Amino acid sequence: GEDVEQSLFLSVREGDSSVINCTYTDSSSTYLYWYKQEPGAGLQLLTYIFSNMDMKQDQRLTVLLNKKDKHLSLRIADTQTGDSAIYFCAERKTGRRALTFGSGTRLQVQP
Amino acid sequence: NAGVTQTPKFQVLKTGQSMTLQCAQDMNHEYMSWYRQDPGMGLRLIHYSVGAGITDQGEVPNGYNVSRSTTEDFPLRLLSAAPSQTSVYFCASSPPQQGLRDTQYFGPGTRLTVL
């Protein structure tokens, strides 16, 4: 199967919380990342978490890591229309600089 | 700093033509890489470089060449374009490693269509 898997699409209403999920297969992953891609733009790093952490919070963003289940999630509180984008989960494996990306989750925020 | 810049933004080629996608960064980053992004798929690594004069293959290197003569520039060459190379190409760079933390900065992308 794929190294990193994400659901393709998520739709939420403005003001609600969004939760984007990701699963990965390599237990040796050291860092896990969330990137945001707006239409026609490159990828923008949102946040990252080290594999020995289980939670990281940064303003409206909360990252949860369940290393046992190899599951990563990104929660966006008070989702705004400006949060509409594609969100990519990525892992960095031990000894490698390159990242392995999931296929991305398109978040649509309804006004 | 301009960050990571890519040119051109859009390109249309005919099968068999060659071209070079340009990538430059002004942040003195040692690590640079090229990815391609196809619909419904994540980014896939084509080639990467850990410093001037050093390049290596990524996940999908066939049909592409790279060189790294300077720290700033990392061009990607398509020797004989094929329709399967229609994609959006992203260049990325990373600063010298700070422990294990390593964030990559992406350029805006080049949208390539091969007819």
3 state SS for B9-59:
CEEEECCCCCEEEEEEECCCCCEEEEEEECCCCCEEEEEEEEECCEEEECC
**What's the rounded mean pLDDT across residues B68-88?**
96
Quote the pLDDT of residue B101.
52
B19 closest CA partner among B27, B28, B9, B11: B11
Q: Residue A87: name the closest of A42, A51, A35, A47 by CA.
A: A35
pLDDT digits (tens, 9 = 90+) for A30-82: 789 999 999 888 889 899 898 888 999 999 999 999 988 999 999 999 999 99
What is the C-alpha separation between A65 and A72, in angstroms, rounded? 5
Q: Which tens digits make up the pLDDT trace of A90-103?
A: 988 777 777 889 99
Distance from chain centroid for Cα B52: 15
Range B105-109 average pLDDT: 91
Is residue A26 over pLDDT 60? yes
Count of beta carbons in the 10 Å neighbourhood of residue A38: 13
Nearest to A42 among B40, B102, B109 (CB): B109
Residue A5 tokens read as 């898997």
Cα atoms in the Cβ-side hemisphere of radius 13 Å centred on A32: 31
Please give the share of chain B, as a percent, with pLDDT higher than 70.
94
Of A33, A43, A103, the CB nearest to B90: A43
B61 touches chain A (CB under 8 A): no
Set of chain B residues whose Cβ sits within 8 Å of the Cβ of A90? 42
Structure confidence at residue A21 as a pLDDT band (50, 70, 90): very high
The secondary structure of B73-90 as a DSSP string is: B--EEESS--GGG-EEEE
pLDDT given for residue B100 in this prediction: 46
Percent of chain A at pLDDT exceeding 70: 97
